Structure formats: C-alpha cells, structure tokens
Chain A
Amino acid sequence: MEHASAPVIILFVLFAAFILLQIQRARHGAHIFLRRIAGLEVIDDAIGRATEQDRPIMFNPGRDDLSVNLFCSLSVLGYVTRKAAKLNMPVNVPVSMPLAYAMAEEYWKDAYDAMGRGGMFAVEDNIRYLSGDQNAFGMSCAGWIKRERIGANFLFGSYGFEAMIIAEAGQQAGAIQVACTPTFFQVPFFIVTCDYTVFGEEFYAAGAYFSHDPVLTGSLAGQDLCKLVVLGLIVAGIVVFTLAQQNLLASLLLW
C-alpha cells in the first residue's frame, strides 16, 4: 500500500487541528451558524403528516456495515425514533447487515425508552433483518412499504442499485420521502423519486443539525475551514499551472 506522503500528512494534521479547535471553540460557547437544510427541516413535518394519516414511519439505514456512515445514519434514527415515540408512532427499520441490525436495535430501543414508551412496540415487528443480498433487500423493503402503506420514508445511508427499487416503491405508496446519502451515483435516482434529497457532506452534518451538540456543530465549522484550504489549493494550483504552461511566470519575473 502506498503510504501517506509528506503533503498528505501535513494536510491531515492541519485538517484534524481545524476540526478539534473548532470543537473546542463550540464547547466554550462560541455561536456557530448552521445553514438551513430543507431536506432535514422537513423531517418533523413528515413524521407529523404520517401520524395524522395513521401510517407507519420507515427509517432505512442503507447497506452500510460497521462504519462511520452507519453511525451517522443511526444518530438520525435516534432523532426520528424519539420524535415518533413522542407521538406513539412505530418506526420500521429494515436492515441489510447483521452488525447494523444489532446497533439499530439498540438505538431504536434507547429512543423509545428515553421517551417513556419502552415496550410499546415489538422489536421483531419493527426492526427486521431482511437480507444481505441487494436484490432481496430492495424487494423486501419495497414489499414492506407497499403492504404497510408507509407514510414517511427516510433513506439515510449508502445504497447501490436497490435505491431505485425502494424509493420508487415509496413514491408509489404516496409516502413523503427524504433521502440523505454519501453515495454520489444514487443521487439522480433519489432526486427523481424522493421529495427531498440531501447528499455529500450534508449527510455527515445531519446528526449535528438535529442535536446542536457543540462537538458536532464545532466539527462542521472545522470542515468548512478544511474546505477553504482545499479551495485555496485548487485555485493556487490552477494559477501556478496556467502560468507555468504559458511560460507567463518567467515573462513576469523577467519583466
């Protein structure tokens, strides 16, 4: 394996420092502005509408196994489940990976317990391990959505081609759908089938958006600084390369 070169190590240390410093700032009470993300704002409305229609809510954590992405989507599962628990609504969670099943169950139970609704819904009816196979997982989710007439469908995580099957089934069932994914290639499919689509880095910001935890908001501010550095490097690279290509740098120096 090719190991990190010196510039990569420098950038890594710099980025880590930015993120940790901003977290520290946020912990000390600095105000950090969070941009409004429509796709995340609508989650409360979607849960409310599903409750009014007496239709269940589904939260799909995608096909991530034990990874950073899974933790990010499960933190949103915690938020959605707490909101739904407050309204005595069940949250259905289809799972594709065995480790994700064990963790989703813990988040789900924890949220119902926190709202004083522990034991209201059976775990095995609401959190179901469907299949590790993409085809089977996609079709099982689609069948579940249609059978239960899901009212609000949240797709948070990484997906493959099954994204289209699941999201189109939700669209046909008339559910409000919010997709949030770091998988770039599934974004077009989500855009055409879901009411709101959030993608890229906003996927990692979702947890901070709901919790307003200083650690998370601070890390978002740190990420913005990192992006500024990358942007600066890109612009500097373009300028230097263009000047070098045209031999303009030499002309300027000579002049």
Chain B
Amino acid sequence: MSKRGALKLLAFLVGLYFVLEYVLPEKLGGDFDSYEVRSPAGCVLGTNTLALYVGHYRAEQCGIGRLVQNGATGSWTRTPNRPVLQPALFQAYERYGMSQLAVQANGTALTLVYIGKNMQREPVLCYATSGDAGLTWRRHGPVVFSTNGQFLSSQKCPNGDVPGAIQWYAAQYHEGLWQMALICATKGVVLAQGPTLTNMTLQTTALRSVAQLPLGITAFDARLVSNQWRGYFVAEGRLQVQNLADGMDQVDTVDLLDTSICAYRLGPRAGEAVICVERAPATARAPEQAPVQTELYCAPARLTSNGTLMKSVGAQARPTYLTRGIKWAGDFTMIVGGFAVFMAVINLFLYHSKRIAQRQPGLHNSVLFFIFMVLMGIFTFFGNKPGEYGTQIVVRAPTPAAVTLEAALKKDMLQAFTTLTNINDKRVTVEVCLQQQGTTVTGAVLHARYIGIFPAAQRAQVVPELRAAVARHVQIAAQAVQVDFAPAVMQTGFDFVFKAFLVPLGIATFSTITFYMISAAYRAFKIRSAEAVLLMVAAFIVMIGQLPLGAWLTHGLPDGVFFLQLPWLAQKLLMVANSSAFRGVLIGIMIGGLAAGLRIWLGMDESVYAGLDK
C-alpha cells in the first residue's frame, strides 16, 4: 500500500472511531450509566415511588435514568433501560451535561428541575415536565428569575437576574407557588418564588452570606417547614440541619458514617433522602471507567445509615479496540498538537533572532519578545500553580489530635480575614505549622503568602486575629504564635504580568475596534447604489428602533398603523428578515460542511495530502 493510501485508511479508521463512539455509544453494548451514577432525586406519584438520576457513559456525556421502587420488596429497578432525557445537542444551556436533579409531583404531572452546563461549562438552572410518570420529558429551557418584574432570559444570562453562578439549590412546589432557595457563588442563600418556573421573583437581599455557610459543602437540600426554609448541608463529614433565617440556628447535626456523600435530596417519602456516595475503587480502573465509583442509596433523612442501594453503575461495554481507541486517538491528537506548539515557538524564535542578528528596523520589539518569553516561562513554571486563588488555610498537622482541630481552626482563621475590606480581591495562603512535643502543641508558625498587594495596615489588622484564632483552639499563648507575612514572588510576578500587561493590552486592542467601526460605517453608509440606500434605511430603523428615542418618536401613532412604530419595525427586521437570512445561510454552511467532511473522511479530497509525495 502506498504512503497516501495508508494515510487515507488511517484517517478513515480514526473518523469511524469518532462516529461510532460519539454517535452510537450505547449501540456498542453496555449501559448508558456505565461510567458513573450521580444526583438522585425521588418523589411519590400516585401509588408509584420514582427516582431519577444522572447516568454518565463518559465524563461529560450523560442521560437521565428512571428508577421505580417495587412496593413489596422495596428494591429499585431501572425502567426503561434507556435514558428518559438527554442533554440536547443544540441547546447551549445543557450542552455539557446535567446535574443536581430535583423532581416534584403535581397531580399526574412531574416537573424536573436540573442544572445544565452551558458551552462555557457554567451552571444554568433548567426544567422539564412529564405527563407520563417520567417516561418522556418535554424540556422548557432555563428557569427565569427577576428582581424587577421583567422576566428576561438571554444567552448571556439564561436565568435572568441570578446574582452569580448557582452552586446549589432546593426547589419545592408549595401551596400553588414554586419556592426556591439558591446558593449563589458570591451572594450566599437567596430565595425566590413564583407561580411558574419562568416567573420566579428573586429576593434582592441574601438570606445568608457565603461567610455564614458551612465550609466545604458537598451536598445541599432544603425544605419549607412552617413557612421557614430549613437547610440540610452535607459538609466536612457531617449533616448540618439549620434554619436558614432568623439567627441561623442549628437544628440538628449528625456525624456521617460515610463521609463521601456528594449528593443529597430529601424524598421520595417524608423522613427519607436519596444520596450519592463516592467510593475509592477497590481495583485498578480501566481507561473507560470513572476514577471513583459511585452508588445511589435511599437513606433515612438524618443519614443514620446508608439505607437501601438504589443503583450502582451499569454494565460496562465490553472493551474493544474501538472503545479503547477513542483514548488513543485523543492522546495522539494531543501529542501532535504538542509538537505543533513546539514548531510554532521555533518559528517565533527564528524570526525574531534573525531580526536581531541582522539589526533590522524595529528590532527592539524582538528584544522585548525574548525578554517577555523568558519572564513568562519562569513565572508560569513557578507561579501558575493550581489552587492558589482565594484565601486558603493549610494546616500541617502531623498528629491525630491536631487533625481534629483542623476544621475549627480553618473556620476561625478564615473569619479573621473577613474583617478586611475588599477581601474578595485578596489571595492569601496561610500555612499553619504546629510545633509539638509528643501530643502537646507548644507553639505555631503561620507562613502567610499573598499574591498581589496586601497593605501593611491590613496585615497589622489581621495578625492579632490570626494569633487569637490559633490560641483559642490550640491552648497556647497568642505570643507563642509567629506570623510570617511575605509576598509569593513568582505567583505575584505571574499575576502582575497578566494584570498589568496582557489584560490592559487586550482591552486597548479591543477598544480600537470602535474607531475601525466608525470609519467602516462611514464608508458603508455612503449612498452610492440602491443596495446602499436599502442598507442605510434598514440600519437607521434598527438603530433608532432599539433606542427610547425611537419609541418616543412614534408612540403617538394610532393603533391601526402599529406597523409604522419604529420599535416594531426594528424587531421585525431583526427577528424576521435577519433571522430567516441567517437560517438560510446556516443550512448552506451545514450542508457544505457535511460534504467537505465526507470528502475528507473517505479520502476523496486530494488537497488534504499536500506535500506527501515529495
């Protein structure tokens, strides 16, 4: 076989891998939940007890499975054996998966609320409904929240006015209203209620700030008890039940038997909860298996035991060269990509060194290139370490006695930092080294390393509080605690190059587009032909129709000639004329892409193999 023929065959086989793996994964054998099972939620519908869960057949590819409990034996069975709902390929808000299910029964209908992961892998709260006990679902898109009565969902803010990313949520249909408690990234617990999930009125003030929440939440749910929200937090090996309002009093705390609970939903019946437990696998994992093993249980709500097993991961597809091949193909692409980056760097090196050697005009740019390349290399290698963002406390605790102190110590020390202004902008890592003699702690050294700027006045403010926090738990004098504050040089350097050079330069470049647009618009709007007149008129209507001025100019027109109102005209131009043209072009692009892909895949396009015959 010739070199070209061999390459064509290889390209065809790699293409076939992707087609079979991505288009028809469950056709290869095995269950759709063979990778992991997560995020259970249960409810009672008539005489049936149902549960839904997210089954993954690969890390970011999943479907929602349905379980039915046998009334006599209490065991759970997956019915049907296929996913009842899958992330929609063309819905941006759930492109990369679903998680955190919550299901509510209302008469014969079921409503499923879930978090979808959008193209940027950001969480978007969505919902779907089913009229046949969860066998088929109709998705309705994002839940829409508003603080001002305007329930608007856009591509940028699909959930409307939600303040920050939704990390956890609880949903309940109560007395004809949907009630929700959201834990948002920067705001804390925020409540919302509304008649439908697209009309959820959000409270403007947070019920509880982030600082008031338990540390290290791994699962959350809440229920309305006497019109008060009661939160169930699974955090740091405990189930903490707290009233979310009025002093946040702790109702109950249970030390968990199993500390790796990663999902908790109350239900299906009162006094029960469905949970997901992560376990370290007993045996070595195959490449197509998840690194941890997950199982779903129906347990008592207080988690005094794990309860009955509902679902463990499904049957694995029989490993074939095809299923393993997807990993090999991915690795191969990464290796080729790595070589290509190396080639690109060599190209930059050759070009700029030649300019310097030949003393060409503008060689100062080339010198600057080398300086920054070396600087960025050093800063990135030493300074770009994961997990360095936000205030972090690391306790070096060699003895079991110190381990028990760790959680409380961390919480108090973090509390010390919350008194600082602009705390969200600070990035500090405090390493606590306890000095011990036997089991007795005799002293402590705190190495605090900060990234960026941390003024001396603020350091002076926080040091006594840190000392006091340590002395409170370790039973030593505050003077025995040494605090050593210093900037983390490499991380600060990395941060500085990004914040002081790259970000402003990027913004400056982006802003130049404004000037370019003006000169381009001037040329475009010069009336030279009939098309230019049409363009000018359409642009004028769209621009002025989007402004309050447009509405004001034509608001006096009688209702009979509503079509002359500028906002109406602008919307029609955008939504009808523009959209239909766009869709026409899109259909053409898709068919063109299909044809080009087919040609390349089947080795018909010879231009792909440029340079091969040399």
Contacts and interface: CB of A to CB of B under 8 A. Distances in A.
A75 B610 CA distance: 9
B611 A223 contact: no
Contact of B89 (A1, A23, A106, A164): A1
Contacts of A171: 520, 523
Contacts, number: 173
Most chain A CB atoms below 10 A, which of B510, B595, B606, B614: B595
A139 interface: yes
A52 interface: no
A71 B596 contact: yes
A216 interface: yes
Interface in A90-115: 95, 98-99, 101-103, 105-107, 109-110, 113
Contacts of B586: 184
A22 B513 CA distance: 44
24 contacts: A3-B23, A3-B25, A16-B594, A19-B595, A74-B607, A75-B605, A99-B336, A101-B347, A106-B610, A125-B351, A129-B343, A129-B347, A133-B506, A135-B510, A136-B506, A147-B362, A161-B510, A164-B517, A168-B519, A201-B591, A204-B592, A205-B592, A227-B588, A230-B591
B599 to A, nearest CB: 6
A226 B592 CA distance: 10
B574 to A, nearest CB: 13
Given A164-B513, A168-B516, A204-B595, A75 B607 contact: yes
A215 interface: yes
Contacts of A110: 610-611, 614
Interface of B: 22-25, 61, 86-89, 333, 336-337, 339-341, 343-345, 347-348, 350-351, 354, 362, 505-506, 509-510, 512-513, 516-517, 519-521, 523-524, 582, 585-589, 591-600, 602, 604-608, 610-611, 614
Contacts of B88: 2
Contacts of A207: 605, 607
B112 to A, nearest CB: 16
A56 interface: no
B520 A129 contact: no
A203 B347 contact: no
Interface string A25-68: 00000000000000000000000000000000000000000101
Contact of A216 (B61, B344, B506, B599): B599
A71 B513 contact: no
Contact of B340 (A78, A102, A205): A102
> Which residue, of B510, B598, B600, has the highest number of chain A Cβ atoms within 10 A?
B598
A138 to B, nearest CB: 7
Contacts of B344: 95, 98, 101, 129
8 closest A-B pairs by beta carbon, nearest first, are A204-B592, A201-B588, A129-B344, A98-B340, A201-B592, A135-B509, A192-B524, A168-B516
Nearest to A12: B594
Contact of A99 (B340, B596, B597): B340
A235 to B, nearest CB: 13
Nearest to B519: A168
Contacts of B593: 68-69, 182, 204
A168 B520 contact: yes
A191 B524 contact: yes
B347 A68 contact: no
A68 B24 contact: no
B607 A23 contact: no
A76 B587 CA distance: 23
B347 A200 contact: no
A3 to B, nearest CB: 6
Given A71-B600, A71-B607, 14 more contacts: A2-B87, A4-B23, A16-B594, A68-B600, A75-B607, A101-B343, A113-B614, A127-B347, A129-B344, A135-B510, A200-B589, A215-B604, A216-B605, A219-B599
Contacts of B523: 171, 192-193
A128 interface: yes
B520 A164 contact: yes
B25 to A, nearest CB: 8
Contact of A16 (B362, B506, B598): B598
A196 interface: no
Contacts of B587: 227, 230
Nearest to A129: B344
Contacts of A2: 86-89
Contacts of A205: 592
Contacts of A66: 333
A1 B606 contact: no
Contacts of A204: 589, 592-593, 595-596
A128 B582 contact: no
B516 A222 contact: no
Contacts of A222: 595
Contact of A200 (B585, B599, B611): B585
Nearest to A189: B520
Given A78-B607, A201-B592, A230-B591, A165 B597 contact: no
Contacts of A71: 596, 600, 605, 607-608
A128 B351 contact: yes
Contacts of A121: none
Nearest to B95: A1
A150 B452 CA distance: 43
